[in-house]
Structures are given as C-alpha cells and as structure tokens.
Amino acid sequence: MSTAWDPAVLYPDIAAHGSLAAALRAAAGGRLDGVRLTTPKYAPLRGVKVHCPLPHRRPLGVDAAHRERKWSIRGGDGFEDMTLLDGTTDDLEEVAEAALAWHDGAALKDIRRVAPFVHLTGRFEVPDLDPASMAESAWQHLLTEARELESAWQPGYQALVQAAHAEPALRRLYPFAGHGILRFSTRTRPGLAAVGASLVVGGARYAVTEDFPFPNEDDPVFSTAAQAVAEAVRRLPTDLGPVALGC
C-alpha cells in the first residue's frame, strides 16, 4: 500500500515522467535536452545530478524531500567539494533554471539572480586552485555563515570569526570551524594540517586551547574575541610559510 514515503504519492507528475531527470528536462522546456543528467539506480524519482563541463564544478545535486513536496539543490566545487550554493524550493521550474545556469557556467551570483531560492554560502570558485584564494574563499564562507547563524546560535561566534579574519597572521591561513570551534591550517582541504591553537566560543566567552576539541581548566579564557585572537596569534609558529594546497 502506498504511503507518504512513496515518492509517487507526493510526486505523481514526476512518476508520470518516469524519473526526476525526465521531469526536470520537461520543466526546462527542452533547454536541458543536451545536458548529461544521472539518477540513482534504485530511486529515479528522488534524485538527479546535473553535470557541468567545467572541471572546477561537481555535478549539481537535486533531491526530492520525503515528507513534503519540495526539492533541494547543492552545488560543490570540483577540488574540495565544499558547498558553493544550496537551496530549497517547491517549484521545479526554478530548479530547472538553477540547473541550466550551473551547467552553462554562469557566475554564482547570476545563478541566484535567475533562481532566487538559491542560497550562496560565501565561498567563491577558484578554478586555478590558488591556495591563498582558496583560503580567502573559506574565510568568506565562515563570515557569511557567522552572520546567518548569529541570531539563533552562539552569541559570540560572529565576533570571533570577524576578529580572527581581521588579524593578518590568521587570515593568511586556511580556516575551518564546527560547533563553535575555530581552527587554522597551513594546507587547504582535503589535506588539512592544523597549526597553532584552537579558538572556542561559549556564552560570549572565548577560550584558547591546544587540547582539541575541548579546552581544559588551565587554558586561558577571555571576555572579548580580540583578546582571544591575540593569544592565538602569539602561539603561532614563527616560521610559517604561505598556505599550501592540501592534496
């Protein structure tokens, strides 16, 4: 017996086409007919990947939601596979516009222009894999993420990321973060090489620790992000060179 988990129940029109790929081509009015689309072998109604001829772009992933009628997309870069754009919509024609623009190599901001549901993560594309540019792309993502999360998450996280980015010695490194912990690497993804101390925010207080992932009772705690960043800079090795490609 069919249930709400059966994609044919939520997406009868997609089922009528036989696959999400076929439905997406139809929604594009023929403009995707020459584009390579691939679908999961055992779930053709639930997903499709839109391939791009540009080597610095992974295929755009399109996935159907299980509990309500909508589609999510994700576009990653070709080297690190970090998310450049994502988004959710209940309009398959909007998905088709984003898919076509992704395939055609449109700039990220132009993809968002033709498909307003698209969310840009702050990362930008670095086709030549210049490590310094990849580091700045990672910083721009963290700054964007911090602005978006600030109202509903750690109250001091945005201040921490901004203060760290303002410090030249840290800005030249590759940043990575999670769960309120900001770390630094001398190499880009995927071969990260952590260096120096970690910065941990909690309750608008900032700890500096070399005991990842959690500070211990002997680690210094500061009341401002600027103070914590200054301590992290003090702990950096003095012989650091330019950030390298982490391959």
pTM for the model: 0.93
Tell me the C-alpha distance between 85 and 190, whole Å: 19
Note whether 182 and 101 are same-domain residues: no
Within-domain flag for 115:
yes
Tell me the C-alpha distance between 46 and 39, whole Å: 8
Note whether 195 and 220 are same-domain residues: yes
Q: Specify the pLDDT at position 1.
A: 43
Please report which confidence band the pLDDT of residue 66 belongs to, taking 50, 70 and 90 as the band edges: very high
Q: How many domains, the chain?
A: 2
Note whether 96 and 156 are same-domain residues: no
The domain containing residue 192 runs over which residues?
A: 131-234
Within-domain flag for 225:
yes
Residue 227 vs residue 217, higher pLDDT: 227
Looking at 97, 120, 143, the residue that finishes a domain is: 120
Note whether 168 and 113 are same-domain residues: no
Tell me the C-alpha distance between 181 and 60, whole Å: 29
Half-sphere exposure of 34 (CA within 13 A, CB side): 3
Within-domain flag for 2:
no
Count, residues in the chain: 247
pLDDT digits over 70-120, tens only?
Answer: 999 999 999 999 999 999 999 999 999 999 999 999 999 999 999 999 999
Three-state DSSP at 97 gives helix
Token pair for residue 209?
Answer: 């620790």
Torsion 108-186-180-158 (CA) sign: negative
pLDDT digits over 27-37, tens only?
Answer: 999 999 999 99
Note whether 107 and 21 are same-domain residues: yes
Within-domain flag for 125:
no
Tell me the C-alpha distance between 135 and 142, whole Å: 11
Query: Residue 4 pLDDT more than 80?
Result: no
